[in-house]
Amino acid sequence: MGYYDEGRTERHKRGGKSGYFLSGLAGVVIGAGVVIAALPSIVDYQNDEQSIVDHQPSGNRGTEQVSLDVTTDITKAVDRAKDTVVGITNIQESMNFFGAEPTTQEAGTGSGVIYKKEGGTAFIVTNYHVIEGAQQLEVTLADGTKEPAELIGGDVWTDLAVLSIRGVNVEKTAEFGDSEALKIGEPVIAIGNPLGLEFSGSVTQGVVSGLERAIPVDLNGDTINDWQAEVLQTDAAINPGNSGGALVNIAGQVVGINSMKIAQSAVEGIGLSIPIDAALPIIKDLESFGEVRRPAMGVTLQNLSELPSYHQQQTLKLPEAVKEGVIIEQVLTNSPAAKAGLREYDVITALDGEPVQDVIALRKYMYNNKQDGDTVNVTYYRDGKQRETELTLVAESDL
């Protein structure tokens, strides 16, 4: 068996040598053909590599700095509006307990929007709380120029104020948009000076999160809500110092005046802005009269719900079904209410047939639907009986 196997192996060895030679020769020929065919591509690749290396900065081979000019709808909107947003510094006198002359110092900063330039004067809208208590006001323009400002008028109810400065250094004014046309989810941009003028012209982006939000406001610090501010809600970051700044749409138009931020540990991304459609009539009144000429009846009021039910029925003699309304605490002499026969402890339940649940509802109806000189029909209870009277309203400042 051993020899047989050995003989067969020898025969295969003799035949294999010639086979290996032919196979090797064929491989060389084929390989050479492949190299020749690929040679142009190899040369082009080497040339491209050399070109890339040649174009790289000397001493910085392998990295190349590329400058991009990015232009989007957001950057265009910011460019249109940013120079119209200014910083506002509230300067107040500081108390001195050692007999020296009082000194002035910065009490706070905020933002404002230049909305008009006329006759060498530029007009700025901001928040009332930004300028409240100021002995002096200073405006810092987008380019850093500082101008003394004059307070034309302010309105605590809507948290709006109008200032004026010299217009010589003002080149751009804001364009107002239509806040009634806003949609939930629409992109908006907040521009202002968060945390002070060191961060002037800061931009944050978000969307309209909600429309016609009603936020209770305590104006005199007595823990009783005096008013409901109707605002826009956005998730664009609005921080202290942003107050009075602009909320702009994608066209760069101002659609809101940023007013406040809910800052609770469990709440993030809720910014509030006064709709520009609601702000415009206030701005016009402040510019023209220095105040908002709201209609008034000449009474002081209290919510019926704040009175214990015992006094509602025993003292005021109200029917048990009457649970909502406002109590007249005082009637001013020669006021519209006095002329119409209203008295202390009368309980107003409706105006022009519209139910009045509380003081806020009464003010909201009056301020949104009436002007001085208008008449209003008052439904009220006295000694348990329902009555009606009509009175002619006057401006609060005329009382």
- φ/ψ (deg, to 5) at 250: -70, -15
Please list the active-site residues: 129, 159, 243
Q: What is the torsion angle, in degrees rounded to the nearest 10, for the CA atoms of residue 128, residue 134, residue 137 and residue 143?
A: -60
First and final CA of the chain: distance in angstroms? 135
Alpha-carbon gap, residue 55 to 66, rounded angstroms: 13
Q: What gap in Å lies between CA 225 and CA 358, rounded to an integer?
A: 11
The residue with tokens 């005082």 is 330
Secondary structure of residue 82 in the 3-state scheme: helix
The first and second tokens of residue 28, run together, are 């060389």
Single-letter amino acid code for the residue at 145: T
Q: Under 8 Å CB-to-CB from 214, ≥6 apart: which residues?
A: 228, 229, 230
Structure tokens that stand for 398 in this block? 């005329």
Q: What is the DSSP string of 234-255?
A: E-S---TT-TT-EEE-TTS-EE
- Name the one residue in this structure whose structure tokens are 């956005």: 234
Yes or no: say if 196 and 295 are a contact pair by the CB < 8 Å rule: no
Q: Match 């051993």 to its residue by tokens.
A: 2
